[in-house]
Homo-oligomer: A and B are copies of this chain.
Amino acid sequence: MKLSTRCRYGIHAMFDLAQNAGAGPQTIRAIAERQLVPEQYLEQIIGVLRREGLVKSVRGAQGGYMLAWEPSEISIGQLIRLLEGPVVMADCIVDADACVRSGQCPSRLVWERLTDCINKVVDSVTLQDMLADQERLMER
């Protein structure tokens, strides 16, 4: 029940882009250094986010990456689902055929409740919220 580092790296990178929104395109190298993430691995991760339309890239010299949306429009839930796969406790939640019992399995109810709860939390937090949290932390 832990997030993969791949997913955490991705979220850190997106937070970094949110912090530097408006400061022009950010290079992989710069993000990697600030966020302490292996450069080439980050390249791979951010590639996923680009293909899904969450970040824009500028190729060539002076190129780099930027958020494709406002920080308030990007939720942690979106990022987790992209980088970690669907947030689901057991296959039977999405695919009724995955379990022979499906209809009459009592643990299914638990998984459903849990899945709902997790999705509600992660979808309610945006990059904007994290920026605000960050400011509050810095004040002290």
- List the interface of chain A (C-beta within 8 A of B): 1-3, 8, 11-12, 15, 36, 76, 80, 84-91, 100, 103-104, 106-107, 109-111, 113-114, 117-118, 121-122, 125, 130-131, 133-134, 137-138
Contacts and interface: CB of A to CB of B under 8 A. Distances in A.
> Looking at A86, A104, A110, A133, which has the most chain B CB atoms within 10 Å of its CB?
A110
A111 B110 CA distance: 21
B130 A121 contact: no
Contact of A11 (B80, B104, B107, B133): B107
Q: Top 10 nearest A-B pairs by Cβ distance?
A: A106-B130, A106-B134, A106-B133, A1-B87, A117-B121, A114-B121, A109-B133, A110-B125, A3-B89, A117-B117
A80 B130 contact: no
Given A76-B107, A113-B125, 16 more contacts: A1-B80, A1-B87, A1-B89, A2-B85, A2-B89, A3-B89, A3-B111, A103-B137, A104-B134, A104-B138, A106-B130, A106-B131, A106-B133, A109-B130, A109-B133, A110-B130
